[in-house]
Every structure is written in structure tokens, then in C-alpha cells.
Chain A
């Protein structure tokens, strides 16, 4: 009884405010639902289109023009070796990125966080500037770098222009400023005691890094790995610019090759390939929601 008597006094305007709050909440939901409509429509079309002969707007149409026309034929590409080749290339790029960015960033981030050396400040500010700077503008010059790398005897064919390795190297480098900065942030947050004890006992820096520090930044490394995997899996601009033809194409480039300007495009098959390409992303989206929201903010915060 007492609570009901006190409650109104917390709301100076009484029931009026409550009504207004209710309206405000209704307005909030209305706005949010409206805002995600374009996103949901896009996905709805993708799913409907993959399962039908053709679509008009969001409606699946059958041969006579009525509603219907359910088919699984759009998924015939599954038996095509070209798509598995593209998938393998995508996977290679993504995995190479996870490993390359992971190793270079944990090592570099550790040095920048924990060691005092000549040039530290310079390298730190350079990392930060490069992190803010977008590297797309350098692609023109990277084209020539890759051509020269391709002229190196023995390994040139694997890391030069028009090779999966070359694309992976460029992608690793472009993600590095973010990776180093993130990992430095994770190392910064670790306590000093264990590391100091190990150093006093005569352990080498490498051993300290490998045996004591790395296990402690595992969550950070996992977040960075997820981020770089997605970046590698979705990579379009770099592979599109530095590869020619179908052999070295990754999934996004393969998909864009299906969309032709000269021949009629089978949009429903394109939709199916697009959805197929999103399978790992959908899995991440379902199982690592909290982590995803955090890592996409991580670029700025370092933790």
C-alpha cells in the first residue's frame, strides 16, 4: 500500500508522464522497426530468390506469371568445381590473414607495449596514423610492388601479381595497423608482476612473450582473429584489383563475375551463390553476437 502512495511522488506529473513515457516507447519501437526494414527486405529477397525460378520485387513467380515457382535448381552450382576453387581461395586468404595478422600484431603489439627502445614513439605514431589512414588510395602503387615481387625467383609466382599469396600479403599489411594497435591495448591492460618475475629469473623476452604473455591475451587474439577472418572472407576490392580471370578469384570476385554487363544474368543463381558465401558469417552472427558488436567498436578503443 505504501509503495503505491510513494510511487506517484517520484513522477511529479503523475499519470501524465507515464502516458507520455508509454507513447515515447511506442515511438521508439516504431522508429527502430522502420529503420531496419531495408536491411530485412534485402535479406528476404536473397532468401526468396535463391528458392525460386524468378522474382518480381519480393514475389516469386512461376513460368505462367503466377505466384510460386519453387525450385532448387539455383543450387546446382554446388557441383561446379569453379565455386569450390573460389571457396578454397577465399579460405586461403582468410586463414593466411588470421595467421599473418595474428603473429605480426601480437609480436609488434608486445614490443610497443612492454619494451623501451629507440624509435618506439615514431613507430607508435606511425601505426596510429596508418590506422586512421585508409589504404585504398595506395592500391595503384601496390600494383607495381606486386609486379616486382612476382619477379623474385622461386617464390615470385606465389606472392606476386595475380596470385592468392599476393592478395593475402596485401590484405595482411592493410589490417596490420589496426591489429598492432588492438594487441598493444590488450598487452597494456595486463599486470606487470609475472613478466617482471620471469625476466629477473633470467627468462628471455621471447620466452616471456610466448609462455607468459600470449596465454593472457588469448581473448583479445580471438577477437582479432574473428575480425580478420571476416575481413579476409569478404575481401573484394584487393582481390578484384590484383587478380585476373577465374583461377585465382575468391568468392566475392567469383560472384561479381557472374553479374555480367553483356550477357543476361541469372539473378536467382547469383542470389544463391551470395547466400552460400554467407554461411560462415551467419554462423558467426548466431554464435558470437556479443563479440561481434565489441570488435567492430574495437578499432577505436584498443580493448
Chain B
């Protein structure tokens, strides 16, 4: 007894097998088979590089894998890593750093400056506004290593630093290194903020440009002030883009650490600018004296992955649900 193969089902459908029910079934099978043919490459990659690593990360967090026992079979040690994480002497500091970094950058740059830039560049002549938005896109376009190189030169100690040369008196007379000395957080937030602001700026700009012009003209004729127009007309009309950027960028900031890694590597000193995501990465890949603690790093990571997945699910529910449930119409020929 062999199972009826897909080919047989297809063949039956092709000759127009009797009965409408049978035909629909055959068609559905055929449609599903070819759909998975199209999705094959994407599904394979998503499985190998998202699903499998996700499961692996969870398993790793219950082992004690480090470079000391790398070649041994994995050893399950229960929740010891989680206990170690939450009792780590630097845990409160890292948590505080993460919350501070995410919300300060988000509010000042990814939302705040982004909104101001969008409002200002849409209120001046089109070409000029476009030019300024284009310049703001440059940081995002620049390779991270080169971008951080520029900021490092801006914050370098005397006589090389650009800031110290331009404003020798302002930030104290020391003239020392700013990002690894006087004001590391300012530099961490500036470097990330100058990247983050452009995304919101572009989204808000297109939202602002789609507001009907007569609405704004009418308000102006009625003598509404600029501030009233922004507060009572523009902001309510771009409520959804604002909420979208807020959730999307929270997630982004929470899980990205590339620029901090390149700028301060969590320093100066112990954990001064180290955020959660960077801790996870450094435990696993760059621990001191060549001792990589993959399991412990995975523990930090899996906590963040859980938070990120929850946030992502909320974000999907909020914004794309309608598009999601819309069914393709072509099947109902």
C-alpha cells in the first residue's frame, strides 16, 4: 500500500476528476505544492539562520559551554546561568545603562530630532528640504567603521581632537579624550542618534507631505499660529507613524550594539557604557584572556531575544494586521 502521491493528485486534478469537491482539493494541493516551491529557498535560509539558532540559543543557555570545555559534549546545568546573570554585581548597572541608552536616544533623536527635522524640512522650499534630508542620510550610508572613525577624531584628546580644537574652553580645560574620558554617554548617544534620526525623519516627512494642503491653508487664513498648526493639525494626523517609529526603534536600539562596540567597547573603565546586547556579545565572543563563555553569553542573549520577540509581536499586531489577513484573490478565478 503506497500513499497517493502528489503527482497522482495533480494528474487527477488535471484531467478534471469528477465532482467539484475533488477538483478543489486537487487544486489546493497543487497550489500549496507550488507555493512551497517558491518559498523553498527563503524557508531554508530562515530555518537555518533564524529558527535553528533561536532554539540553539535556548539550549545553550542551560549548558556550561565555554572555551575550557569546547570539545566536550554539552553539559546541561539547569538554571545556573540565569542565577548567575541576575546576581551579577554589574547586572543593575547594565540594566540601568540599557534603559537609559534606549530611551534617551529614542526620545532625543529617533523620535524628537526626527520629528523636528521632518517638520522643518517640509516647511521650506522642496529642493532645499530634500537637500538637508539627503545630508542627514549620509551617516546611515557610511560604513560603520568609517563613521565611528570620524566621531573618534571629533572626540580625540588634544592636539588631535576636532572638538577640543574648536572649543578649547567649553568642556573644561583638560582637552582630554571625550568618548573615553569626560563624556562617553554623550558620544554614544550622539553617534547612535545621528544614525537613528534619519529613519524617523523620512517616515514623518512622507506622512507630513500627504496632509492635504487646503487644511493647512485654511488654518493659516483663520490666523492659527505655527505652533497651533503643528499641535492641532500635523501631530494628530501623523499619530500612527509616530507610534510605529517609537516601537520599531525601541526594538532596534535595544538589540543593536555595533556602534557602541566600535566607539567605546563598553568603556571607559568597567561597564560604563555597556548595554545588555553588548554584554551578551562580549561574554560569548570577546571575553578577557581568550575565555569565551558561550553559554553565559547565550543566557544574556536569550533574555533579550524573548523581550524583542514580545515587542515584535506587539508591533505586528499594531501595524500590519489588516494587510496580514488579506487573502490573495487570484485563486477564486
In-complex Cβ contact of B145 among A12, A141, A200, A274 (8 A): A274
- Pick out which of these stretches binds chain B: A77-85, A113-121, A214-222: A113-121
Contact A57 B166 (CB under 8 A): yes
Residue of A nearest to B252 (CB): A134
Contact A133 B308 (CB under 8 A): yes
The verdict on A19 contacting chain B, using a C-beta distance below 8 Å, is: no
Residues of B near A120 (CB, < 8 A) are 35
Interface residues of B in 111-156 (CB under 8 A from A): 113, 116-117, 120-121, 123-124, 130, 132-147, 149-151, 153-154
Residues of B near A55 (CB, < 8 A) are 160
Residues of B near A42 (CB, < 8 A) are 147, 150-151, 153-154
With A24-B226, A57-B166, A236-B145 known to touch, is A107 a contact of B38 (CB < 8 Å)?
A: yes
With A117-B35, A134-B255, A138-B53 known to touch, is A296 a contact of B223 (CB < 8 Å)?
A: no
A118 to B331 CA separation, bound complex (whole angstroms) = 13
Contact A137 B150 (CB under 8 A): no
Interface residues of B in 135-190 (CB under 8 A from A): 135-147, 149-151, 153-154, 159-162, 164-166, 190
Residue of A nearest to B203 (CB): A297
A38 to B203 CA separation, bound complex (whole angstroms) = 23
Residues of B in contact with A, size category: 35 or more
- Chain A residues with CB under 8 Å of chain B are 10, 12-13, 24-25, 28-29, 31-32, 35-36, 38-43, 45-46, 49, 55-59, 100, 103-105, 107-108, 110-121, 123-126, 128-130, 132-145, 149, 169-170, 172-174, 176-177, 180, 188, 192, 195-196, 199-200, 205-206, 209, 230, 233-234, 236-237, 241, 251-252, 255-256, 259, 267, 270-271, 274-275, 277-278, 281, 284-285, 289, 292-293, 296-297, 299-302
- Chain B residues with CB under 8 Å of chain A are 28, 31-32, 34-43, 45-46, 48-50, 52-54, 56-57, 60, 113, 116-117, 120-121, 123-124, 130, 132-147, 149-151, 153-154, 159-162, 164-166, 190, 194, 198-199, 202-203, 206, 221, 223, 226, 244, 248, 251-252, 254-258, 261-262, 277, 280-281, 284-285, 294, 297-298, 301, 304-305, 308-309, 311-313, 315-316, 320, 323-325, 327-331, 333
